[in-house]
Amino acid sequence: MRILQANKFYYPKGGADKYFLDLTKALNAAGHETAVFAMADPRNLESPYSRYFASPVEFNGGGLKDKLKIPGRMIYSREAKRKFARELDDFKPDIVHVHNIYHQLSPSILEAAKARGIPVVMHLHDYKLICPNYRLFTKGHICRKCLDEKSYLPCLTNNCYKSYLQSSLATLEMTIHHKWLHIYEKNLDLLIAPSEFMRRLVIESGWPAEKIITIYNPAPKISEALLNTEDDLLKNDYQNDYPEEDYLLYFGRLAPEKGISDLAQAVKSGGGRSGQKLHIVGAGPEEKNIRTEFGPEIKSGQIKLLGRLTGQSLNDEITKARAVVFPSIWPENMPLALLESLAQGKIVIASRVGGLPEIIKDKENGFLFKAGDIKELEAVIKAVCELKPEIKKNIELRARESARILDPGSHLAKILQIYSKLAKKSG
Protein backbone atom coordinates (compact mmCIF):
# COMPACT_ATOMS: atom_id res chain seq x y z
CA MET A 1 0.00 0.00 0.00
CA ARG A 2 1.15 3.56 -0.71
CA ILE A 3 0.62 5.95 2.21
CA LEU A 4 1.31 9.68 2.35
CA GLN A 5 1.82 10.94 5.92
CA ALA A 6 1.49 14.69 6.60
CA ASN A 7 2.58 16.57 9.72
CA LYS A 8 3.81 20.11 10.19
CA PHE A 9 7.16 19.04 11.68
CA TYR A 10 9.47 16.36 10.31
CA TYR A 11 11.57 16.03 13.44
CA PRO A 12 10.63 14.80 16.95
CA LYS A 13 9.61 18.13 18.48
CA GLY A 14 6.81 16.62 20.61
CA GLY A 15 4.74 13.53 21.17
CA ALA A 16 2.59 13.98 18.06
CA ASP A 17 5.65 14.34 15.86
CA LYS A 18 7.29 11.29 17.42
CA TYR A 19 4.16 9.25 16.76
CA PHE A 20 4.10 10.42 13.12
CA LEU A 21 7.76 9.48 12.64
CA ASP A 22 7.43 6.13 14.41
CA LEU A 23 4.34 5.20 12.38
CA THR A 24 6.08 6.06 9.12
CA LYS A 25 9.05 3.92 10.15
CA ALA A 26 6.77 1.01 11.13
CA LEU A 27 4.91 1.20 7.81
CA ASN A 28 8.17 1.09 5.89
CA ALA A 29 9.40 -1.86 7.96
CA ALA A 30 6.16 -3.71 7.17
CA GLY A 31 6.84 -3.36 3.44
CA HIS A 32 4.58 -0.43 2.58
CA GLU A 33 5.63 2.58 0.52
CA THR A 34 5.43 5.90 2.36
CA ALA A 35 5.93 9.53 1.49
CA VAL A 36 5.88 12.48 3.89
CA PHE A 37 4.77 16.10 3.69
CA ALA A 38 5.79 18.74 6.22
CA MET A 39 7.18 22.26 6.60
CA ALA A 40 10.78 22.90 5.60
CA ASP A 41 13.01 23.29 8.65
CA PRO A 42 16.76 22.89 9.27
CA ARG A 43 15.95 20.48 12.12
CA ASN A 44 14.08 18.10 9.79
CA LEU A 45 15.24 14.57 9.18
CA GLU A 46 16.48 13.84 5.69
CA SER A 47 13.78 12.90 3.21
CA PRO A 48 13.64 12.38 -0.56
CA TYR A 49 10.31 14.23 -0.42
CA SER A 50 11.65 17.44 1.14
CA ARG A 51 11.48 19.17 -2.24
CA TYR A 52 7.69 19.21 -1.82
CA PHE A 53 7.70 20.69 1.71
CA ALA A 54 5.99 24.01 2.43
CA SER A 55 8.26 26.99 3.01
CA PRO A 56 9.20 27.68 6.65
CA VAL A 57 7.38 30.17 8.81
CA GLU A 58 8.27 31.02 12.41
CA PHE A 59 5.26 31.46 14.70
CA ASN A 60 7.24 32.31 17.83
CA GLY A 61 9.74 35.12 17.66
CA GLY A 62 9.95 35.45 13.89
CA GLY A 63 10.62 38.68 12.05
CA LEU A 64 8.26 40.95 10.13
CA LYS A 65 8.24 38.64 7.10
CA ASP A 66 7.05 35.74 9.23
CA LYS A 67 4.42 37.86 10.96
CA LEU A 68 2.98 38.90 7.60
CA LYS A 69 2.84 35.27 6.43
CA ILE A 70 1.15 33.87 9.56
CA PRO A 71 -2.53 34.79 8.89
CA GLY A 72 -2.53 33.32 5.39
CA ARG A 73 -0.63 30.21 6.46
CA MET A 74 -3.00 29.56 9.38
CA ILE A 75 -6.25 30.07 7.53
CA TYR A 76 -5.62 28.78 4.01
CA SER A 77 -2.18 28.17 2.54
CA ARG A 78 -2.31 28.10 -1.25
CA GLU A 79 1.40 27.34 -1.34
CA ALA A 80 1.06 24.25 0.89
CA LYS A 81 -1.94 23.06 -1.14
CA ARG A 82 -0.06 23.50 -4.43
CA LYS A 83 3.04 21.64 -3.23
CA PHE A 84 0.97 18.90 -1.61
CA ALA A 85 -1.03 18.46 -4.83
CA ARG A 86 2.18 18.02 -6.79
CA GLU A 87 3.36 15.35 -4.35
CA LEU A 88 -0.01 13.59 -4.58
CA ASP A 89 0.24 13.50 -8.36
CA ASP A 90 3.82 12.22 -8.30
CA PHE A 91 3.50 9.68 -5.48
CA LYS A 92 -0.11 8.57 -6.13
CA PRO A 93 -0.95 7.35 -2.63
CA ASP A 94 -3.78 4.95 -1.80
CA ILE A 95 -4.43 6.83 1.44
CA VAL A 96 -3.43 10.08 3.14
CA HIS A 97 -2.92 10.16 6.91
CA VAL A 98 -2.65 13.68 8.39
CA HIS A 99 -1.53 14.51 11.90
CA ASN A 100 -0.94 18.05 13.20
CA ILE A 101 -1.31 20.18 10.07
CA TYR A 102 -2.84 23.35 11.51
CA HIS A 103 -1.00 26.70 11.41
CA GLN A 104 2.20 25.70 9.59
CA LEU A 105 0.40 23.83 6.76
CA SER A 106 -3.32 24.64 7.14
CA PRO A 107 -6.21 22.35 6.14
CA SER A 108 -6.02 23.59 2.55
CA ILE A 109 -4.08 20.39 1.75
CA LEU A 110 -7.18 18.31 2.54
CA GLU A 111 -8.96 19.73 -0.49
CA ALA A 112 -6.13 18.62 -2.76
CA ALA A 113 -6.58 15.00 -1.65
CA LYS A 114 -10.37 15.18 -1.86
CA ALA A 115 -10.21 16.53 -5.42
CA ARG A 116 -8.26 13.42 -6.42
CA GLY A 117 -10.59 11.01 -4.67
CA ILE A 118 -7.93 9.93 -2.18
CA PRO A 119 -9.33 9.01 1.27
CA VAL A 120 -7.95 11.02 4.21
CA VAL A 121 -7.58 9.95 7.84
CA MET A 122 -6.79 12.49 10.56
CA HIS A 123 -5.14 11.65 13.88
CA LEU A 124 -6.36 13.77 16.80
CA HIS A 125 -3.21 14.34 18.82
CA ASP A 126 -4.69 17.35 20.62
CA TYR A 127 -7.97 19.29 20.87
CA LYS A 128 -7.40 21.75 18.01
CA LEU A 129 -10.37 20.40 16.07
CA ILE A 130 -12.70 21.71 18.80
CA CYS A 131 -10.65 24.28 20.77
CA PRO A 132 -8.85 27.36 19.35
CA ASN A 133 -5.89 27.07 21.75
CA TYR A 134 -5.88 23.23 21.33
CA ARG A 135 -5.67 22.52 25.10
CA LEU A 136 -9.19 22.96 26.56
CA PHE A 137 -7.31 24.85 29.26
CA THR A 138 -6.81 28.54 30.00
CA LYS A 139 -5.97 30.79 32.95
CA GLY A 140 -5.05 27.79 35.06
CA HIS A 141 -8.32 25.93 34.56
CA ILE A 142 -9.98 23.47 32.19
CA CYS A 143 -12.19 25.43 29.80
CA ARG A 144 -15.13 24.16 27.72
CA LYS A 145 -16.68 27.50 26.80
CA CYS A 146 -16.20 27.22 23.03
CA LEU A 147 -17.54 23.67 23.12
CA ASP A 148 -20.53 24.46 25.33
CA GLU A 149 -21.47 27.74 23.63
CA LYS A 150 -20.94 26.39 20.08
CA SER A 151 -18.92 29.51 19.37
CA TYR A 152 -15.23 30.39 19.23
CA LEU A 153 -15.65 33.95 20.53
CA PRO A 154 -14.74 32.95 24.13
CA CYS A 155 -11.18 32.44 22.88
CA LEU A 156 -11.04 36.15 22.07
CA THR A 157 -12.99 37.49 25.05
CA ASN A 158 -10.94 35.38 27.48
CA ASN A 159 -7.65 35.98 25.64
CA CYS A 160 -6.96 32.25 25.59
CA TYR A 161 -4.12 32.09 23.10
CA LYS A 162 -0.90 33.91 24.07
CA SER A 163 -2.13 37.47 23.31
CA TYR A 164 -5.26 39.29 22.18
CA LEU A 165 -3.84 39.51 18.66
CA GLN A 166 -3.15 35.77 18.47
CA SER A 167 -6.43 34.95 20.22
CA SER A 168 -8.32 36.99 17.61
CA LEU A 169 -6.46 35.21 14.82
CA ALA A 170 -7.18 31.77 16.35
CA THR A 171 -10.86 32.73 16.72
CA LEU A 172 -11.02 33.81 13.07
CA GLU A 173 -9.18 30.67 11.96
CA MET A 174 -11.62 28.36 13.74
CA THR A 175 -14.68 30.32 12.59
CA ILE A 176 -13.62 30.20 8.93
CA HIS A 177 -12.64 26.52 9.04
CA HIS A 178 -15.61 25.17 11.00
CA LYS A 179 -18.46 27.68 10.59
CA TRP A 180 -17.97 28.92 7.05
CA LEU A 181 -15.89 26.49 4.98
CA HIS A 182 -16.47 23.30 7.01
CA ILE A 183 -13.15 22.31 5.48
CA TYR A 184 -12.39 19.47 7.88
CA GLU A 185 -15.89 18.00 7.82
CA LYS A 186 -16.07 17.99 4.01
CA ASN A 187 -12.65 16.49 3.35
CA LEU A 188 -11.94 13.95 6.10
CA ASP A 189 -13.15 10.36 5.81
CA LEU A 190 -12.25 9.24 9.33
CA LEU A 191 -10.84 10.60 12.59
CA ILE A 192 -8.63 8.53 14.90
CA ALA A 193 -8.87 9.46 18.58
CA PRO A 194 -6.15 8.13 20.93
CA SER A 195 -8.62 8.06 23.84
CA GLU A 196 -12.32 7.56 24.43
CA PHE A 197 -12.29 10.91 26.22
CA MET A 198 -11.20 12.61 23.00
CA ARG A 199 -13.74 10.67 20.94
CA ARG A 200 -16.64 11.65 23.22
CA LEU A 201 -15.69 15.34 23.10
CA VAL A 202 -15.45 15.43 19.31
CA ILE A 203 -18.84 13.72 18.99
CA GLU A 204 -20.24 16.23 21.47
CA SER A 205 -18.95 19.02 19.22
CA GLY A 206 -21.15 17.74 16.40
CA TRP A 207 -19.10 15.14 14.51
CA PRO A 208 -21.00 11.95 13.59
CA ALA A 209 -19.99 9.03 15.81
CA GLU A 210 -19.44 6.73 12.83
CA LYS A 211 -16.61 8.96 11.54
CA ILE A 212 -14.51 8.66 14.72
CA ILE A 213 -12.71 5.58 15.99
CA THR A 214 -10.61 5.16 19.14
CA ILE A 215 -7.19 3.56 18.81
CA TYR A 216 -4.90 3.93 21.79
CA ASN A 217 -1.33 4.98 21.11
CA PRO A 218 1.12 2.07 21.19
CA ALA A 219 3.39 1.52 24.16
CA PRO A 220 7.07 1.00 23.34
CA LYS A 221 8.06 -2.60 22.78
CA ILE A 222 9.04 -4.20 26.08
CA SER A 223 12.73 -4.99 26.20
CA GLU A 224 13.65 -8.65 26.03
CA ALA A 225 15.80 -8.03 29.10
CA LEU A 226 12.65 -7.19 31.02
CA LEU A 227 10.23 -9.63 29.45
CA ASN A 228 10.86 -12.65 27.26
CA THR A 229 7.45 -14.29 27.20
CA GLU A 230 3.97 -13.71 28.52
CA ASP A 231 4.60 -16.42 31.12
CA ASP A 232 7.62 -14.53 32.45
CA LEU A 233 5.38 -11.54 33.09
CA LEU A 234 3.14 -13.57 35.36
CA LYS A 235 5.78 -15.50 37.31
CA ASN A 236 5.49 -15.01 41.03
CA ASP A 237 9.26 -15.04 41.43
CA TYR A 238 9.77 -12.06 39.12
CA GLN A 239 12.36 -9.62 40.43
CA ASN A 240 13.24 -6.20 39.08
CA ASP A 241 17.02 -6.29 38.61
CA TYR A 242 17.23 -2.59 37.86
CA PRO A 243 18.46 -0.48 40.80
CA GLU A 244 15.73 1.72 42.22
CA GLU A 245 16.47 4.99 43.97
CA ASP A 246 14.36 7.04 46.33
CA TYR A 247 13.04 9.68 43.95
CA LEU A 248 9.89 10.43 41.99
CA LEU A 249 10.19 11.35 38.33
CA TYR A 250 8.36 13.73 36.04
CA PHE A 251 9.43 13.84 32.41
CA GLY A 252 7.88 15.81 29.59
CA ARG A 253 7.21 19.40 28.64
CA LEU A 254 7.51 21.93 31.47
CA ALA A 255 4.25 23.85 31.06
CA PRO A 256 1.76 25.23 33.61
CA GLU A 257 -1.00 22.80 32.60
CA LYS A 258 1.23 19.84 33.44
CA GLY A 259 0.79 20.46 37.17
CA ILE A 260 4.51 20.23 37.94
CA SER A 261 4.36 22.87 40.69
CA ASP A 262 1.64 20.81 42.43
CA LEU A 263 3.94 17.79 42.35
CA ALA A 264 6.90 19.82 43.63
CA GLN A 265 4.74 21.18 46.45
CA ALA A 266 3.62 17.66 47.41
CA VAL A 267 7.25 16.51 47.52
CA LYS A 268 8.25 19.61 49.48
CA SER A 269 5.54 18.83 52.02
CA GLY A 270 6.99 15.35 52.34
CA GLY A 271 4.20 13.18 51.03
CA GLY A 272 4.37 11.51 54.43
CA ARG A 273 8.05 10.61 53.94
CA SER A 274 11.08 12.68 54.89
CA GLY A 275 13.87 12.88 52.36
CA GLN A 276 11.64 12.17 49.35
CA LYS A 277 13.21 13.60 46.19
CA LEU A 278 11.88 14.70 42.82
CA HIS A 279 13.68 14.61 39.47
CA ILE A 280 12.21 16.80 36.72
CA VAL A 281 13.25 16.05 33.13
CA GLY A 282 12.31 18.37 30.28
CA ALA A 283 12.23 22.01 29.28
CA GLY A 284 9.59 24.65 28.79
CA PRO A 285 8.09 27.92 30.03
CA GLU A 286 7.32 26.61 33.53
CA GLU A 287 10.98 26.04 34.39
CA LYS A 288 11.54 29.65 35.47
CA ASN A 289 8.54 29.55 37.82
CA ILE A 290 9.68 26.28 39.37
CA ARG A 291 13.15 27.68 39.99
CA THR A 292 11.66 30.76 41.64
CA GLU A 293 9.06 28.94 43.77
CA PHE A 294 11.23 26.02 44.85
CA GLY A 295 14.68 27.61 44.94
CA PRO A 296 15.64 26.28 48.42
CA GLU A 297 14.56 22.73 47.52
CA ILE A 298 16.54 22.89 44.27
CA LYS A 299 19.58 24.20 46.13
CA SER A 300 19.38 21.40 48.72
CA GLY A 301 19.03 18.75 46.01
CA GLN A 302 15.55 17.64 47.08
CA ILE A 303 14.31 18.76 43.65
CA LYS A 304 16.57 18.32 40.64
CA LEU A 305 15.96 19.97 37.26
CA LEU A 306 17.82 17.79 34.76
CA GLY A 307 16.83 19.50 31.50
CA ARG A 308 16.09 17.54 28.34
CA LEU A 309 17.22 13.92 28.32
CA THR A 310 16.89 11.36 25.54
CA GLY A 311 17.95 7.82 24.79
CA GLN A 312 19.79 5.88 27.46
CA SER A 313 20.04 8.87 29.80
CA LEU A 314 16.25 9.18 29.94
CA ASN A 315 15.86 5.42 30.13
CA ASP A 316 18.14 5.31 33.18
CA GLU A 317 16.11 8.01 34.93
CA ILE A 318 12.90 6.07 34.37
CA THR A 319 14.23 2.67 35.45
CA LYS A 320 15.74 4.03 38.67
CA ALA A 321 12.68 6.06 39.75
CA ARG A 322 10.44 4.84 42.55
CA ALA A 323 7.46 6.06 40.53
CA VAL A 324 6.69 8.29 37.54
CA VAL A 325 4.16 11.05 38.15
CA PHE A 326 1.81 12.71 35.65
CA PRO A 327 0.18 15.50 37.72
CA SER A 328 -1.62 17.22 34.83
CA ILE A 329 -4.35 19.73 35.60
CA TRP A 330 -5.49 19.85 31.97
CA PRO A 331 -7.29 17.01 30.16
CA GLU A 332 -4.35 14.96 28.89
CA ASN A 333 -5.22 12.94 25.82
CA MET A 334 -2.85 9.93 25.74
CA PRO A 335 0.76 10.96 26.43
CA LEU A 336 3.45 8.68 25.05
CA ALA A 337 5.49 9.23 28.23
CA LEU A 338 2.78 7.45 30.22
CA LEU A 339 2.94 4.40 27.95
CA GLU A 340 6.73 4.40 28.02
CA SER A 341 6.66 4.33 31.82
CA LEU A 342 4.26 1.40 31.88
CA ALA A 343 6.42 -0.50 29.39
CA GLN A 344 9.27 -0.27 31.87
CA GLY A 345 7.10 -1.65 34.63
CA LYS A 346 7.11 1.58 36.62
CA ILE A 347 4.41 2.52 39.08
CA VAL A 348 2.58 5.51 37.59
CA ILE A 349 0.84 8.16 39.66
CA ALA A 350 -1.55 10.13 37.43
CA SER A 351 -4.24 12.74 37.86
CA ARG A 352 -7.79 11.57 37.22
CA VAL A 353 -8.33 13.69 34.09
CA GLY A 354 -8.74 13.31 30.32
CA GLY A 355 -7.70 9.95 28.92
CA LEU A 356 -5.34 8.99 31.78
CA PRO A 357 -7.92 6.94 33.77
CA GLU A 358 -8.59 4.85 30.67
CA ILE A 359 -5.13 3.32 31.02
CA ILE A 360 -4.33 3.72 34.73
CA LYS A 361 -6.62 1.75 37.02
CA ASP A 362 -6.32 2.95 40.61
CA LYS A 363 -4.34 0.59 42.84
CA GLU A 364 -4.21 -2.02 40.06
CA ASN A 365 -1.56 -0.95 37.54
CA GLY A 366 -0.89 2.48 39.07
CA PHE A 367 -2.48 5.17 41.23
CA LEU A 368 -4.89 8.03 40.51
CA PHE A 369 -5.62 11.28 42.36
CA LYS A 370 -7.89 14.26 41.76
CA ALA A 371 -6.23 16.77 39.45
CA GLY A 372 -4.98 19.80 41.35
CA ASP A 373 -5.52 18.22 44.79
CA ILE A 374 -2.09 18.50 46.41
CA LYS A 375 -3.21 16.88 49.67
CA GLU A 376 -4.51 13.81 47.86
CA LEU A 377 -1.31 13.67 45.82
CA GLU A 378 0.70 13.75 49.06
CA ALA A 379 -1.38 10.85 50.38
CA VAL A 380 -0.86 8.82 47.21
CA ILE A 381 2.90 9.45 47.28
CA LYS A 382 2.95 8.27 50.90
CA ALA A 383 0.99 5.13 49.98
CA VAL A 384 3.38 4.33 47.12
CA CYS A 385 6.44 4.82 49.32
CA GLU A 386 4.97 2.49 51.95
CA LEU A 387 3.91 -0.31 49.60
CA LYS A 388 4.80 -3.79 50.76
CA PRO A 389 7.26 -5.47 48.35
CA GLU A 390 4.79 -8.11 47.16
CA ILE A 391 2.05 -5.56 46.42
CA LYS A 392 4.57 -3.26 44.70
CA LYS A 393 5.78 -6.13 42.54
CA ASN A 394 2.24 -7.07 41.49
CA ILE A 395 1.40 -3.47 40.49
CA GLU A 396 4.61 -3.28 38.44
CA LEU A 397 3.72 -6.53 36.70
CA ARG A 398 0.25 -5.26 35.84
CA ALA A 399 1.78 -2.01 34.57
CA ARG A 400 3.94 -3.97 32.17
CA GLU A 401 0.99 -6.13 31.17
CA SER A 402 -0.94 -2.94 30.30
CA ALA A 403 1.90 -1.94 27.99
CA ARG A 404 2.11 -5.42 26.47
CA ILE A 405 -1.56 -5.22 25.44
CA LEU A 406 -0.84 -1.92 23.67
CA ASP A 407 2.05 -3.35 21.66
CA PRO A 408 3.18 -1.64 18.44
CA GLY A 409 2.39 -4.66 16.26
CA SER A 410 -1.31 -4.80 17.08
CA HIS A 411 -1.50 -1.01 16.83
CA LEU A 412 -0.07 -1.09 13.31
CA ALA A 413 -2.49 -3.85 12.34
CA LYS A 414 -5.44 -1.66 13.40
CA ILE A 415 -4.12 1.30 11.43
CA LEU A 416 -3.59 -0.83 8.32
CA GLN A 417 -7.09 -2.27 8.64
CA ILE A 418 -8.47 1.27 8.49
CA TYR A 419 -6.30 2.13 5.49
CA SER A 420 -7.37 -0.98 3.62
CA LYS A 421 -11.07 -0.45 4.30
CA LEU A 422 -11.03 3.19 3.16
CA ALA A 423 -8.88 2.46 0.10
CA LYS A 424 -11.24 -0.28 -1.03
CA LYS A 425 -14.25 1.95 -0.52
CA SER A 426 -12.71 4.74 -2.62
CA GLY A 427 -11.60 2.29 -5.30
- pLDDT tens track for 68-107: 888 999 999 999 999 999 999 999 999 999 999 999 999 9
CB crowding 234-265: b at 16 or more within 10 Å, else e: eeeebeeeeeeeebbbbbbbbbbbbbbbbbbb
For domain 230-405, the CATH superfamily is Glycogen Phosphorylase B; (3.40.50.2000)
pLDDT digits over 275-325, tens only?
789 999 999 999 999 999 999 999 999 999 999 998 999 999 999 999 999
- Please check whether residue 416 is in contact with residue 1, taking contact to mean a CB–CB distance below 8 angstroms: yes
Q: Please list the residue range(s) of the chain that carry CATH number 3.40.50.2000.
A: 2-125+189-218+408-426, 230-405
Q: Binning pLDDT at 50, 70 and 90, where does residue 230 land?
A: very low
Q: Kindly state the average pLDDT of the residues 259-280.
A: 86
Residues 280-313 as b/e (b if ≥16 CB within 10 A, e otherwise) read bbbeeebbeebeeebeebbeeebbebeeebeeee
Amino acid at 244: E
**Percent of the chain having pLDDT more than 90?**
87
**Tens digit of pLDDT for each residue in 9-42?**
999 998 999 999 999 999 999 999 999 999 999 9
pLDDT class of 249 with cuts at 50, 70, 90: very high
- What's the pLDDT at 425? 85
Above 70 in pLDDT, residue 407?
yes
Whether the pLDDT of residue 3 is over 70: the answer is: yes
How do residues 46-66 score in pLDDT, each as one tens digit?
Answer: 999 999 999 999 887 777 777
Decide if 352 contacts 372 (C-beta within 8 A).
no
Q: Which helix (H) or strand (E) holds 372?
A: none
> In the prediction, which pLDDT does 271 show?
56
User: In CATH, what number does 2-125+189-218+408-426 get?
Assistant: 3.40.50.2000
Mean pLDDT of 339-359: 97
Higher local confidence (pLDDT), 222 or 184? 184
| Lowest-confidence region among 48-52, 188-192, 261-265, 272-276 | 272-276
Which are the contacts of 17, defined by CB distance < 8 A and separation ≥ 6? 7, 9, 10, 11, 99, 100
- Give me the pLDDT at residue 349, please: 98
- Of 372, 420, 377, nearest to 3 by C-alpha is 420
Across the chain, mean pLDDT equals: 92
Task: Say whether pLDDT at 231 is over 60.
Answer: no
For residue 270, name the pLDDT band (cuts at 50, 70, 90).
confident
DSSP-assigned beta bridge partners for residue 187: none
